[in-house]
Amino acid sequence: MAVATTWSSVFPVADARSAHEVAAGCIPRERDALLAFKQGINDTEDDLVSWQEGNQDCCRWEGITCDNATGHVVELDLGFWTSFLADQISPSLLSLEHLESLNLQYANNMVGKLINSMGQLNNLTMLDLSHNNITGTIPLGIDKCSYLWHYDLSYNHLTGAIPSWLGNCTRLWYLSLSNNLLTGHIPHGFESCAALLTLDISENHLSGAIPPGLGNCTSLGQLYLSSNHLTGHVPSKIGMLGHLSDLDLSNNNLDGMITEEHLLGLKNLEHMDSSHNSFSGPLPLHFGSRWLAELSLSYSYFSGPISKYICQLEFLLVLELSYNFLEGELPHCSRKSSLVYLLLSNNNFSGKFPSSVRNYSRLAFLDLSRNNFYGTLPSWIGELVNLKYLQLSHNLLHGDIPPNVTNLYCLRHLNLARNSISGVIPSSLSKLTAMTQANSTKHGSDKSCTSNNYGTMKKEIWLVVMKRQELKYGTGFFDVLSIDLSLNKLVGRIPDELTSLNGLLNLNLSWNHLSGQIPAEIGAMKSIESLDLSRNNLYDEIPTSLSNLTYLSSLDLSYNNLTGRIPLGNQLDTIYSENPSIYAGNIGLCGPPLERNCSGNNGLEHMNQQTSEKVYEPLLSLYFGLGSGFVAGLWVVFCSLLFNKTWRVSYFRLFDKLYDNAYVFVVVTWGMINDKETTS
């Protein structure tokens, strides 16, 4: 967007000098008009204290510039430095017939409608009424201002259509009507504005197609059409704007394809944002300009691979292609790159972790999440020492967390969730000093961690999974210090050293195979707001220091093997009342807020229980082994008899012989017993 400027300091009004150099005094009629203007405002801070009837020479008043020869007021500049309140623009200003520059930007709460008779000020070259609360439509009278080159009504509440007469202002260099409530189509009259350098009509409710005639405005350097309701294809005549440096078509309903025909003529393009549209087809093979610094095409339904031409954009700082249907491997770029933002999430990219990222030494934001990248995290990831944001979740990565990831001393957000990362959590994560309170100021306190910020991304939406939900952040995202290693295959204990990261707001280690105790000094993580250790194999008691986490608003310790009394604390009680499942699946926990009471010898019982479990586990293994061996042997004998006829016949003959012998033995023995009884 164009930035408001004190234009008189950039393009001084012709034939005018400061008030103190004016030879001729101010014209009485014009002095009266200025005093009438002052009476119509509420000068709360006395900014216009010099505007007094006793001070006859109005050319010496603050904000006034007069013509050196005639004494006529030619410039009225009350922008930025004043803080008065005005109901509307006073008609008395119409008496300043020789006025060439009128600047009332940021004139706090100026309301009401613009007067149509402002066209009487036909010498106006600059009119800036931006950042007020002006309502109504754009007045028709301005079309008589044939010398007008700067016209800014942005950040008001103007309604209605953009008047076609603006096309008559053939000297117009700068036109900004952004951030209003304008409706209707973009008028075709702009085709005649050959001198126009900046056109900003973003943030309105404009509809219809982009007029192909805009391609005739060959002097255009900045074209901002974002955040409207524009539809249809982007006209190929846009490619005729050879001087264009900024092109913003984002947040519309544009469709069709973006091809080389649109871009090859844009040799000076530096910033292109076409995100949040409904385009189709592949990305262009060529983007025309070698000077591109920002390329944002997210949420736009593009498909196919990324062209290797991207590797030639040596000045590219931002590549934002998230939320498309792009696929294939990333092009291998061998040359060094200036990239600061590489945001490719929510696509269908595949292949091993892209090795060309190693060449992006300035990279501060890397988001490859929700793709199909596989392989291990490379050890050279620790060489990207400017990284603040590392988001690799929802891929197919495996292997250990590289120990030298702790070289990323600027890192403020680490997300490796939902991969197959294994091994232990490195205790050296405590070296991520940007996650400590001492360095948790915005963007980090280390100057080397602030040198790579690129302000154009401030409008981006950043997603963080914390507090059991996916939260959306804008610029406040940079204050959210987070580690998310959930849904992996991590083992071992939670390192005690991790508790030194006392600037963390979010720590999520859930759905792993972690064991051991919760670190006793967990309460040292004073800033933590969301802590999720659920679905692991943690055991023993919950540390009492947990109740010291006064900022904690979301806690989940469910489905572990925790035992003992739950620590007391108002904060923990509040969290439990909002989510009673935070201790679920831990049958050994007792005490308030649970209904399960703790006995006096709870600690001793817990120790005996652990001892008995240790004795019982080997016996259980022995019995299980014996039973398995017996069943296996029985099946071997059965299968041998079933499938071998000779063995089966021999077995049954043996069985018959044994049966006969047993029968004879029983009969003889029984007869002998009966004979003895008879004799007796």
Q: Does domain 374-437+459-602 have CATH number 3.30.70.20?
A: no
Residue 452: the pLDDT is: 54
Q: What are the pLDDT digits (tens) for 542-598?
A: 999 999 999 999 999 999 999 999 999 999 999 999 999 999 999 999 999 998 888
Residue 296: the pLDDT is: 95
**Which of 19-33, 110-124, 454-468 is the least confident region?**
454-468
Residue 1: the pLDDT is: 47
Other beta carbons within 10 angstroms of residue 107's beta carbon come to: 24
Other beta carbons within 10 angstroms of residue 461's beta carbon come to: 11
Above 50 in pLDDT, residue 3?
A: no
Q: With cut-offs at 50, 70 and 90, classify the pLDDT of residue 637.
A: low
Separation CA 582–CA 500 (nearest Å): 24
Per-residue burial over 148-177, b if 16 or more Cβ lie within 10 Å, else e, is: bbbbbbbbbebeeebbeebbbbeebbbbbb
Take residue 37 and report the two structure tokens written for it.
């203007």
Separation CA 114–CA 153 (nearest Å): 10
Reported as type and span, the H/E element at residue 295 is strand 294-296
Q: What are the pLDDT digits (tens) for 23-79?
A: 567 899 999 999 988 888 877 778 888 888 888 889 999 899 999 889 999 999 987
**Which of 57-61, 101-105, 138-142 is the least confident region?**
138-142
Separation CA 373–CA 391 (nearest Å): 12
Residue 600: the pLDDT is: 60
Residue 78: the pLDDT is: 85
- For 413: left if phi > 0, alpha if psi spans -120 to 50, otherwise beta; the answer is beta
Separation CA 355–CA 336 (nearest Å): 12
Q: Calculate the alpha carbon distances from 468 to 66, 390, 464, 531, 629 in Å.
A: 64, 20, 10, 10, 48
Crossing angle between the packed helical segments 645-679 and 602-643, to the nearest 10 degrees? 110
Q: What's the pTM? A: 0.82
Q: Where do runs of H (alpha helix) occur along 160-306?
A: 260-263
Separation CA 118–CA 144 (nearest Å): 9
Separation CA 243–CA 639 (nearest Å): 87
At 385 the three-state DSSP class reads coil
Residue 7: the pLDDT is: 44
Separation CA 301–CA 624 (nearest Å): 58
Average pLDDT, the chain: 85
Residue 613: the pLDDT is: 45
Peptide bond into 331 cis (omega under 30): no
